Amino acid sequence: MNAATFRMGRLDHVHVRVPDRAEAARWYADHLGFEPVGRFDFWASGFDGGPLQISADGGRTTLALFEATEQHPMVPQANGIAFSVDADTFIAFANSLPRGIPDSRGKPLALQDVVDLDLCWVFNLADPWGNQYELNCYDYDRIKAELIDMKGIEAQRYWPRELYSRR
């Protein structure tokens, strides 16, 4: 896959740093019509540092509200934009790495940088100016079988799998 054939996909969500997720969710609900997205509730209620996903369009696109206080574990989480692609596109992108795209720390993005979020697979990347992006794929089982297991990749994790499996 070359740069000319890859397309980032549809807008999935935007990371927004706030000092208090509940207060921010109320403001977005009262003023802009956003509502919590139930299928992502486990990230907000089950994990310290997980985002509260809210949406004004039934969950097709969301704001991911991250608490950003000095003592909070997600302080490194930056504002950013996430895009979603299908499994074929995600696998082709992964197999094309490295390809001159930096990760969120500025190092070359590599196949081993894939993140397992238990509901989707993610690559965190940046543009040359430091703007942060995620590339997500929600076809979890297919990516696990056709990329992660097939290539023996040890994916990155933000929280222990046990926390997710208890939900």
Count other Cβ atoms within 10 Å, centred on residue 6. 16
Contact 56, 34 (CB under 8 A): yes
CA atoms within 13 A on the CB side of 102: 11
Q: What is the mean pLDDT of the chain?
A: 86
Task: Give the helix ranges, DSSP H, for the chain.
Answer: 21-32, 41-46, 87-95, 140-143, 150-151, 161-165
Query: pLDDT tens digit string along 30-63?
Result: 988 899 999 999 888 877 778 899 999 999 999 9
Share of the chain above pLDDT 90, in %: 51
Query: In 3-state terms, what secondary structure has residue 102?
Result: strand
pLDDT at 29: 93
pLDDT at 93: 94
- Radius of gyration from C-alpha coordinates of the chain: 16
Fold adopted by 10-165: 2,3-Dihydroxybiphenyl 1,2-Dioxygenase; domain 1 (3.10.180)
Domain boundaries, the chain: 10-165
Query: pLDDT tens digit string along 82-110?
Result: 999 999 999 999 999 988 899 988 899 99
Q: What is the pTM of this model?
A: 0.76
CA triplet 116, 103, 148: central angle to 5 degrees?
30
Of residues 43 and 122, the one with the higher pLDDT is 122
Among 120, 117, 99, 124, smallest CA distance to 160 is for: 117
